[in-house]
Structure 1
Amino acid sequence: MANFFDFGLTLDLLRLPFVQLALVVAVVLGLLAGVLGPLIVSRNMAFSVHGTSELAFTGGAAALLLGWDIGNGALAGAIIAALVLGLLSRRSSEYDSVIGVVLAFGLGVGVLMLYFYKGRASNKFGLLTGQIVGQDFASFALLMACAAGVFAVLAVIYRPLLFASVDPEVARARGVPVTALALVFAVLVGVATALGVRTVGALLVLALMVTPAAAACRVTASPLRATVLSVLFALVSAVGGIILSLAPGAPISAFVTAISFVIYVVCWAVGRARGLTRA
């Protein structure tokens, strides 16, 4: 139990190259999650992120079984999930049921693939809960290339996407391609989710992609301020989760989730106090 608060050991571990690389990865993931998060929340896509992460897990499990790179497998699985969810759920009334069907199927196939995988058990566990040693320069290069692509596409479509997220009916009447933007955004979310699987794990990547943004939306209605706060909260959760996980050697996702939850509770209390004061 004492190792959970061994600051000397934590400082020693922070000097290791693979830990420093993981911290850089956490910063990139925090930026991605922070920027995409408010749009995910405004579009009610939290369940979609969970479904996408399960398909990213399935892709990673398939890559693990076939001896391929886990990051590439997770990325392929997430993109396929985003396209499938976008094409099968054209009506909002069908969206949750389609996600539930795809999620259950993907999770079942992924578990079956892990059963057939005869390699190290740590690889299986890390795919589900994240692991700091899963970062290498090949996965880092993939991360940076995908992150740059996501930010580039988002910079082009952000204004019409925000318009379509806030008021889709008016946006459609103004000639904004709402359906096409939804599909593109789903792919962007899928890519970002897949990138988080190796660090945070497939089961709890939702904590990084949604919780910081949900906390930010509790204290502000401004899209700009919500994005800034979401980025800040996501960075604190991702970087703080890695640092706290070093000494005990515990899964990163547990600490990322805990930090995100504490931030959300504080923002919820602040938002509620403001509402009571105004009332």
Structure 2
Amino acid sequence: MENFLDLDITLDVLRYVQPMLIAGALLGLLGGLLGPLIVTRKMAFAVHGTSELAFTGAAAALLIGIGVGYGALAGSVIAALLLGLLSTRDSDRDSVIGAILAFGLGLGVLFLALYEGRAANKFGLLFGQVVSVGSADLWLLVVSSVAVLVVLALIYRPLHFASVDAAVATARGVPVRTLSVVFAVLVGIAVALSVQLVGALLVLSLMITPAAAATRVTASPLKATLLAVVFAEVSVLGGMVLSLAPGLPVSAFVTAVSFLIYLVCRLTSGKRERVR
């Protein structure tokens, strides 16, 4: 009898953990692939701004009673389009992001204030609530991730060229402006999907930190991308597993593992520079 009970408990745990691990693995893959390009293009602040608009869309969805994932996706795509279209010059980028971020965050706070449901849902938008990932959310995540990966594969070569040297890419006929908008949308989708895992305030731990760690230890774009994927997966899946025993928020462990990897890579690169 006890063996059957133990088996039932094990199956329940697996059913509980499986959607989390699948969601985490997909988001780690997206973050690892997009991260090096984000770092190269100096878009860390843009990612933060997009995450705040994803929070606004999610808060609006929570208020009107539709899927939070769809609201976050709509909010982040709108933010990405606005940032891509309004940031015509590099000198304008930070001010445009700041203006859109402040407006979006204000709307998000208003939507949460009007929402009369559970407080846990409000905090989940800010700090993540991966335990709430259901079958519908998981399918949205899978379909969106596949779409991002397909588009990224199609535009990667010209996008990387434009990211490294936009002036030369423009002279060679590369549609730099169009690629910037498309990439901003891809980042927006990835950010929206990440909000449910680590929350709007901690998206940078998935989209930026692994890539920043990878670029500290290698100058090769290919190696940096592979390392960023590995670092992101270790951060996400490791953080999830570590959070199970104490039952604490996943985001705290994901960000801690990610930052620890960054510190190790930074110390390693520092030692190499001193030896040279």
TM-score, with normalisation over the residues of structure 2? 0.95
User: Paired residue for 2:237?
Assistant: 239
Structure 2: how far apart are the matches of 1:14 and 1:268? Answer: 41
Structure 1: how far apart are the matches of 2:10 and 2:259? Answer: 28
User: Paired residue for 2:209?
Assistant: 211
Q: How far off is 1:98 after superposition?
A: 0.7
Change (3 A) 1:198 1:53: same
| Paired residues for 1:1-279 under 5 Å | 15-278=13-276
CA offset digits 1:154-183 (Å, max 9, x no partner): 111000000000111111110000010000
Residue identity matched to 2:164 = V
Q: How far off is 1:17 after superposition?
A: 0.9
Change (3 A) 1:137 1:179: same
Structure 1: how far apart are the matches of 2:246 and 2:264? Answer: 26
User: Paired residue for 1:3?
Assistant: none
Residue identity matched to 1:208 = L
Change (3 A) 1:273 1:17: same
Q: Which runs of 5+ in 2 are unaligned?
A: 1-8
Structure 2: how far apart are the matches of 1:194 and 1:132? Answer: 13
Q: Which runs of 5+ in 1 are unaligned?
A: 1-10
Q: How many residues align?
A: 268
Look up the SS of the partner of 2:201 in the other structure: coil
Q: How far off is 1:132 after superposition?
A: 2.5
Residue 13 of structure 1 contacts residue 246 of structure 1 at CA under 8 Å; is this kept in 2? no
Structure 2: how far apart are the matches of 1:86 and 1:64? Answer: 27
Look up the SS of the partner of 1:203 in the other structure: helix
Look up the SS of the partner of 1:87 in the other structure: helix
Residue identity matched to 2:72 = A
Q: How far off is 1:15 after superposition?
A: 2.8
TM-score, with normalisation over the residues of structure 1? 0.94
Report which stretch shifted further, 251-260 or 89-98. 251-260
Q: How far off is 1:16 after superposition?
A: 3.3
Aligned-residue Cα RMSD (Å) equals 1.3
